[in-house]
Amino acid sequence: MSTTLTKPLQRFSARHAARLPLMVTATLLVAMFSVGSLQYEGFFSAQVLLNVLIDNGFLLVVAIGTTFVILTGGIDLSVGSMVALSTMLTAWLVEQNGLPLAAAVPVVLLVGAGGGALMGWVIHAFEIQPFIVTLAGMFLARGLCYMISTESISITDPTTTTIAQTRVLLPGGLFVSPAVVIALVVLALAFVVLHHTRFGRTVYALGGNESSARLMGLPVGRTKVMVYAVSGLCSALGGLLLTFYMLSGYALHAVGMELDAIAAAVIGGTLLTGGSGFVLGTALGVTVLGLIQTIISFQGTLSSWWTRIVIGGLLFVFILLQRLFGGSRTEH
Amino acid sequence: MTPLDDTGAGGRPARTRGARRLTEHRLFWPAAVLAVLLLGNLALTHDFFAVRVQNGHLYGSLIDILQFGAPLILVSLGMTLVIATRGIDLSVGSTVAIAGALACEHIATAKDPGSLSTVLTAIALAVGVAAAIGLLNGFLVARLGVQPIVATLVLMVAGRGVAQLITDGQIISVSSSAYKMIGGGYWLTLPFAVLLAAVLVAVTSLVTRRTALGMLVESVGGNPVASRLVGIRAAGLLVMVYVVSAVCAAVAGLMISSNVSSADGNNAGLWIELDAILAVVIGGTALTGGRFSLGGTVLGALVIQTLSTTIYTLGVPPETTLVFKALVVIVVCLAQSPVFRARLSRRRRPAAPDPAPAAGDPAARRQEVHS
């Protein structure tokens, strides 16, 4: 519809188009950190950056799953609820049923992956829009939380609390939580899977053009189901990490996290129409979101709702960027 | 509930033709679901249908459903038009919160909170800002060609922050009898909110069905390419439906905040966008755009409100409503899915030709049309 506006810009850099939002994000990250360091005392330290990761490790894992789905041109609105369900399920299994944590973790991960696969199957088999299917999944997961308990279940299990309090020491007196290590491992795995496996290639092909992918004989259905299963698995794992972070299970945990995850992917340069994006960009996106929170808390006078406004504003800017550079897909 | 599953059978005896025509009417299934829910309630609580007059007002469970359902009806009304253009508006929940916050903030800081002029200014302010929100959404969708779900996501995220900014994170209470009228008042023995919703529904259906507007909206949603080729200017229509949706949401926000005499930037209208989408889908408007049914949407909204009421009467935790809603969404979507219906009818008539490839083909064809 807006061909006149976007044409010259596209011609300018068809090759760099996909990387541009990523570069903008990286620049933004450096700029935000510099401004923060100049503005606030004690901001310029590696630990501040590591704290961003500690506070957002679970979001990183969830956003990685979301990136898979968005790359295929789909969307998963159920991740926030799935995170809440995982915290609830873990707390319920460990605290009220006396299951050891080692037994609860596989159950939770299985529920997440299974739920995701089920949604993917419905989306593929019945050709219903991913949006509405995952919306149903969102309702269902949140409702199941309430069926387990409407109250928050706090966790006192010694294994869980020990893990929650463990600090992984780094050289220079720095430290991270085990959750950060897990998140980074997931990030590395996702990178390898997306860029160096057949499955990853199919994910990109599917998002690029589903009809072409099908005509090329790629396993469209299987990939779709798997992508939603990956998203579900990541949400469940993110939920476990959040359980360690919060040490409780609650149905109102992670309300709106699907938005944060989508925002992180978009800010990280993943095209919402699918087919183009980087999982490392998503990591940058999560860091940007985390830095916004950090800056707002350092500022002190700004209230927490500014976070949402700034994230919304950033989302707006990046969506505009996507339209201006390389987002020509929906036009013809 | 598997509607239309026997449409392909054909050759029925003439006696059932009347019944078939009834079940094929597009309002039949939402109306049937509503009737079943209401009758189920009657079985649980025997005076469920009782409506009594008290202090010149009508009271009763049915009136409650109408009154509490009025905001949802309004939001769903705007959502129907947006969905008919193949769009979606996720920002209505935030718009509800912003409208309530603006109006209550204005009334709370005014010198004379009870006066009619203050309330009218507050309403104008809320509706005006909502129209601006709609314009922004419409601009992103129509001018920049951003996917609707993404374009409205921006305000869904930022809007609630803006609402909290307006209320300063507090819950603003107002004491204004004139403002209370919108959501909690009575007029001609009926709740004013119900009358207001009825008037807006009537106006919208008149404007869309008595003029070509409704048909234009349907054609833009049904087939964007063809409607562009016949010379319909989609951009103006798209902007219009997003503005209508935001204004409807603003009026709903006024109702909700007026009913409780306070504005809560955090929780007002939370998840109402999902309920509204659900209402539209139950009402028989497909998410893929095209033909819409305002009557169906009203029934859909009432189904959801009745469902919530039923859950309360059953005594189960109200939060579990979400599980029922999820099941309703899935059932309705499966019923609307052509593939699901094809599979179902194939199972009934195993001799039918054209097996497996049918599942893949329509999708591929449809995508070629869109791309």
**CB of B315 less than 8 A from some CB of A:** no
Query: CA-CA distance, B102 to A10, in Å (whole number)?
Result: 41
pLDDT of A273 reads: 82
**CB of A330 less than 8 A from some CB of B:** yes
* Identity of the residue numbered B20: R
Q: Where are the beta strands (DSSP E) in chain B?
A: 52-54, 57-59, 171-173, 186-187, 190-191, 262-264
Query: CA-CA distance, B350 to B338, in Å (whole number)?
Result: 18
Give the percent of chain A with pLDDT over 70.
Answer: 92
Out of A75-89, A164-178, B10-24, least confident range: B10-24
B176 or A262, which is more confident? A262
User: Exposed, middle or buried by CB within 10 Å (0-12, 13-18, 19+), for B21?
Assistant: exposed
Predicted confidence band of residue A330 (pLDDT cuts 50, 70, 90)? very low
Instruction: Check CB contact under 8 Å for B142 and A1.
Output: yes
Residue B26 has pLDDT above 80, yes or no: no
pLDDT of A19 reads: 72
Alpha-carbon gap: A160 to the closest alpha carbon of chain B (Å): 28
Half-sphere exposure of B206 (CA within 13 A, CB side): 6
Note the ipTM here.
0.77
Dihedral of the alpha carbons of B329, B335, B336, B341, in degrees to the nearest 10? 150
Predicted confidence band of residue B92 (pLDDT cuts 50, 70, 90)? very high
User: Exposed, middle or buried by CB within 10 Å (0-12, 13-18, 19+), for A272?
Assistant: buried
Query: CA-CA distance, B80 to B267, in Å (whole number)?
Result: 24
Residue A236 has pLDDT above 80, yes or no: yes
Alpha-carbon gap: B196 to the closest alpha carbon of chain A (Å): 30
> Average pLDDT of B45-70?
81
pLDDT of A68 reads: 95
* Identity of the residue numbered A168: V
A188 or A309, which is more confident? A188
Question: Is there a contact between B40 and B48 (Cβ–Cβ < 8 Å)?
Answer: no
- Sequence-separated (6 or more) residues with CB below 8 Å from residue B104: B122, B167, B172, B173, B174, B257, B262, B263
Q: What is the pLDDT of residues B208-263, one digit of tens each?
A: 888 888 888 888 888 888 888 888 888 889 999 999 999 999 999 999 999 888 88
Out of A296-300, B3-7, B132-136, B284-288, least confident range: B3-7
Instruction: Check CB contact under 8 Å for A2 and B153.
Output: no
Q: How far is CA B218 from CA B87, B142, B221, B232, in A?
A: 12, 16, 5, 11
Alpha-carbon gap: A137 to the closest alpha carbon of chain B (Å): 7
Residues of A in contact with B274 (CB under 8 A): 135, 138-139
**CB of B204 less than 8 A from some CB of A:** no
Residues of B in contact with A69 (CB under 8 A): none
List A residues 218-237 in contact with B (Cβ-Cβ < 8 A): none
Query: CA-CA distance, A181 to A168, in Å (whole number)?
Result: 8
Residue B316 has pLDDT above 90, yes or no: no
pLDDT of B187 reads: 81
**CB of A302 less than 8 A from some CB of B:** no
> Which of B153, B281, B360 faces A259 most closely, judged by CB atoms?
B153
Question: What percent helix, strand, coil does chain A show, rounded to 5?
Answer: 75, 5, 25
Query: CA-CA distance, A310 to B154, in Å (whole number)?
Result: 10
Alpha-carbon gap: B235 to the closest alpha carbon of chain A (Å): 9
Residue B354 has pLDDT above 60, yes or no: no
Residues of B in contact with A313 (CB under 8 A): 158
Query: CA-CA distance, A89 to A109, in Å (whole number)?
Result: 10
> Which of B146, B156, B371 faces A323 most closely, judged by CB atoms?
B146
Residue B4 has pLDDT above 50, yes or no: no
> Which of A2, A132, A259 faces B156 most closely, judged by CB atoms?
A259
> Average pLDDT of B101-118?
86
Rg of chain A (C-alpha set):
20
Residue B16 has pLDDT above 80, yes or no: no
List B residues 270-309 in contact with A (Cβ-Cβ < 8 A): 274, 277, 281, 287-288
List A residues 14-73 in contact with B (Cβ-Cβ < 8 A): none
- Sequence-separated (6 or more) residues with CB below 8 Å from residue A253: A83, A84, A87, A88, A239, A242, A246
pLDDT of B15 reads: 54
pLDDT of B350 reads: 54
> Average pLDDT of B335-357?
65
**CB of B229 less than 8 A from some CB of A:** no
**CB of A303 less than 8 A from some CB of B:** yes
Q: What is the pLDDT of residues A174-229, one digit of tens each?
A: 888 889 999 999 999 999 999 999 999 999 999 888 889 989 989 999 999 999 99
> Which of A129, A140, A319 faces B146 most closely, judged by CB atoms?
A319
**CB of B235 less than 8 A from some CB of A:** yes
**CB of A305 less than 8 A from some CB of B:** yes
Out of A81-85, A164-168, B46-50, B95-99, least confident range: B46-50
Q: Determine the length of chain A.
A: 332
- Sequence-separated (6 or more) residues with CB below 8 Å from residue A8: none
10 Å Cβ neighbour count for B314?
A: 13
Residues of B in contact with A309 (CB under 8 A): 158, 161-162, 165
- Sequence-separated (6 or more) residues with CB below 8 Å from residue B142: A1, B234, B235, B236, B238, B239
| A248-249 and B52-54 strand pairing | unpaired
- Search chain A and give the residue with CA nearest B136: A316
Closest CA to B147 of A42, A72, A1, A230: A1
Q: What angle (nearest 5°) sits at the alpha carbon of residue B43, between those of residues B45 and B25? A: 120
> Average pLDDT of B190-214?
90
- All domains in chain A, ordered by first residue: 3-324 (1.10.3470)
Q: What is the pLDDT of residues A21-78, one digit of tens each?
A: 788 888 888 998 888 888 888 788 888 888 888 999 999 999 999 999 999 999 998 9
User: B186 pairs with which residues across the strands?
Assistant: B191
Residue A135 has pLDDT above 90, yes or no: no
A330 or A92, which is more confident? A92
Alpha-carbon gap: B195 to the closest alpha carbon of chain A (Å): 31
Tokens at residue A121, please? 């199957």
Q: How far is CA B46 from CA B20, B50, B318, in A?
A: 32, 9, 21
